A = this chain, B = another copy of it.
Amino acid sequence: MEERQPYGSVTAKTLRDLAELVGPRNVSGDPEKLAAYSHDEVPSASLPEATLAQALVFPESTEHVSLVMAYADRHRIPVTPRGAGTGLSGGAVPACGGILLSFEKMNRILELDRENLTVTVEPGVVTAEINRAAAKHRLLYAGDPCSGDASFIGGNVAENAGGNKVIKYGATGAQVLGLEAVLADGSVTWFGGKRRKDVTGYDFVHLLAGSEGTLAVITKIILRLLPLPKHTTDLLAPFGSVEEALGFVPRIVIEAGLLPASVELLDRRAVEVAMRYLNAKLPEPDAAAHLLIQLEGNDPEVLADEVEKVGDLCLAHGARQVYVADNRTARDKLWKARKAVPEAIVAFHSRYAKEDVVVPTGSVPTLMVALEEVDRAWGVEHIAYGHVGDGNMHVTLLPPEGPEGPEKLREARHDLYRRVAALGGTLSGEHGIGLKRRDDTPLFLDEAQLALIRRVKAAFDPKGILNPRKIVPGN
């Protein structure tokens, strides 16, 4: 790791300068606000390098972002862009103080273009608003993170958020056609555009997606829209064991030849914690695992046939029963349960490690065996749920009681990472690396790749002011 120049300091003068650039109402140095904006949903104990932002800026326009970046460039002040703070990796938590750019005022849907099937938005739009705006025109915005009612689209793009519909539609990055971005020196440019195809130059649109604000600051986003499927049905299938449930998942494509929109798993503990939190009931709370399978289609009869086919297949592969939710109320109830799991865990547990490791879909059953071994080795417990259709398992590890809990939890987490690496898996499927997992990337990326990441980072951000110290050690 090279020696670095020290960063410029943020003083009362900096706050005055920023207020002059973007207006006093858009700048704050209030300590309470700085603290409130300097975290995401990762418990701070997991982020030893977290710092507080020293200046908060609420840009109202691309021009504001450009002015702030040019200023930060001149004074070498770190800048951390932040969405709604729903992140799960400390990606928006400043590691070197400096300026925090919060996008809540850049929250407009600028255009929904029905001819070109695109929607152009500012980064501060809440994701679910985009889903709703598209649906009004019988169109689909296919990004669907579980945090969609709260998260900002800018954060979704910066983290390349996944969600419930990745098997069928791809992650957030796959929905992005164009990005307006402010570069480290304050210059404004467009990558991509309202185009379904583009091989002119390198694909920086998809390099920026998932780069966690380390390469440029995103100020406008063009998303693709698709025809909205007319009908949707969810199946809930309780299984006697997690292994049976997981073993069934690939059969949907292989035997039924169908591509579902979602395949989610909830293990017994996940169901239990969600039901307790919502004060609700599922019909078979003692089942070791539930699969929640969503099918979509334009023809109600065909969809009914497909539901029947998948249901029969479930039963043939060990499901105890299949419950079909073919109306909005029944479907909402199921998805409420699924989406409540992360919140419920936080409500009932003070210490936990929320992981979102990925393994090849066919290796998910092996991962579950590895998880049991991790539990035994470190005395932890786990809650397993998530997007098993795409091999992205959400595992929450819970530490044992007692003073050695935190240390056991840390050890268990690293043990899990090592086992995932051995399965050809990866560290994070959608939550990101940020600060939390930065030092674990060398388990998954070799020296050549770590060096490339640092060099590409330097190519975009020669002074190292954009969300420094994230993604890989030495960044």
| A residues in contact (CB < 8 Å) with B | 113-118, 138, 159-160, 162, 166-167, 170-171, 173-174, 183, 187, 189, 191, 193-204, 206-207, 209-211, 215, 226-228, 230, 250, 253-254, 257-259, 298-299, 302, 305, 358-362, 387, 390-392, 424-433, 437, 441, 444-446, 448-449, 452-453, 455-456, 458-460, 471-472
Contact = CB atoms under 8 A, between A and B. Distances in A.
B166 A200 contact: no
17 contacts: A115-B250, A118-B360, A159-B199, A166-B197, A174-B174, A194-B424, A195-B425, A196-B429, A197-B391, A198-B429, A227-B253, A230-B257, A257-B298, A299-B305, A452-B460, A456-B456, A456-B459
Nearest to A361: B116
Contacts of A194: 360-361, 424
B227 A195 contact: no
A362 B194 CA distance: 10
A361 B194 CA distance: 8
A160 B203 contact: yes
A445 B192 CA distance: 10
Nearest to A456: B459
A5 B209 CA distance: 35
B226 A196 contact: no
A391 B459 contact: no
A207 B201 CA distance: 10
A387 B197 CA distance: 10
Contacts of A472: 201
B197 A171 contact: yes
Per CB-CB distance, the 6 closest pairs between chain A and chain B, nearest first, are A115-B362, A455-B459, A196-B390, A197-B429, A194-B360, A206-B206
A259 B115 contact: no
Given A207-B207, A448-B187, A196 B259 contact: no
A392 B448 CA distance: 37
B189 A453 contact: no
Given A174-B174, A448-B187, A453 B206 contact: no
B199 A428 contact: yes
A113 B424 CA distance: 14
A198 B209 CA distance: 12
Given A361-B115, A362-B116, A429-B195, A445 B200 contact: yes
Nearest to A187: B448
A444 B190 CA distance: 10
Nearest to A306: B298
A62 to B, nearest CB: 14
Contact of A196 (B211, B215, B258, B392): B392
Contacts of A391: 116, 195-197
B458 A201 contact: no
Question: Which of A197, A444, A471 has the most chain B CB within a 10 Å cutoff?
Answer: A197
A471 B198 CA distance: 13
